Amino acid sequence: MIDFPLARLQPLPAAVYAALGLKSGGSPSPRSAALLQRALELFRENSEPRGICEPVAAGEFAGIYAGRGQNAPDTPLTGIFQRAASLHLFAFTLGARISHAIGLLFEHDDFALGAVLDAVASVGADNAGRIAAEWAERQVAAENSAAADRAFLYSPGYCGWHISGQEKLFASLRPERIGISLNTSFLMNPLKSISGVLVTGTAAIHRFSTVYPFCDQCKSPACRERATARPA
């Protein structure tokens, strides 16, 4: 079981400001700082973190990844997962209560606090992926003390993995057990949830220089950060 303590899920101010599109380097106004403090309080009061993670063999994952056959013709994950030391299917949710709290703020025209809480919750959910990746790295290191492997989460809807890939991922992992369901567009409910496959392997397998056609629309080139993050 992976533990998701709120203290580790709670985002740093800089990450929230970046998610809101505010320039880094400048100091936030007193009003922005007060909004963030209130949003962090609401985050702590309304988050109900739950996650599941299960190992999956490369052969089985190949079938899950193929999904409905709608992936891009060439994707980074195709070349990466086959070289991994381990693969884990993963899903995490902050629960329904925080989405309800965000919705209430917008309903009551408190758009500023609603937007900040929405950003706090999104970054908080993403932090769960990092906590899970560190857990996966420890699993591999426990089996091979010489290993200095890195784990990253790859998700349907990103990097050429079609969003309809959620269907087979959910059929195998069954995140319904922790209260996550899929709608007909393959979006998760509760909204502040993440899913995908944790790929653990040498840092080198996560690096690639290829630029894919779908990269043109990419707003968060996580692959670039992966090339430098958490050096071994």
Q: Which residues make up the interface to ligand SF4 (CB under 6 A)?
A: 76, 158-159, 212, 214-215, 218, 221-223
CB of 210 to ligand SF4, least distance (A): 8
CB of 194 to ligand SF4, least distance (A): 15
Cβ neighbour number for residue 111 with a 10 Å cutoff: 10
Cβ nearer to ligand SF4, comparing 28 with 157 = 157
Q: Are the C-beta atoms of residues 132 and 90 closer than 8 Å to each other?
A: yes
CB of 47 to ligand SF4, least distance (A): 27
Place of tokens 């653990």: 200
**From residue 43, how far is each of 82, 107, 201 by CA, in Å?**
38, 18, 33
28 upstream amide cis, omega within 30 of 0: no
Cβ nearer to ligand SF4, comparing 97 with 226 = 226
CB of 214 to ligand SF4, least distance (A): 5
Quote the tokens at residue 132: 């899970």
Q: Which of 54, 87, 91, 99 is nearest to 178 (CA)?
A: 91
Looking at the DSSP bridge assignments, the partners of residue 182 are: 188
CB of 192 to ligand SF4, least distance (A): 21
CA 94 to chain centroid, in Å, comes to 12
Cβ nearer to ligand SF4, comparing 36 with 159 = 159
CB of 221 to ligand SF4, least distance (A): 4
Quote the tokens at residue 69: 């056959």
Cβ nearer to ligand SF4, comparing 55 with 221 = 221
Quote the tokens at residue 121: 């919750």
Cβ nearer to ligand SF4, comparing 40 with 194 = 194
Place of tokens 């007060």: 34
Return the SS3 of 191.
coil
Cβ nearer to ligand SF4, comparing 190 with 196 = 196
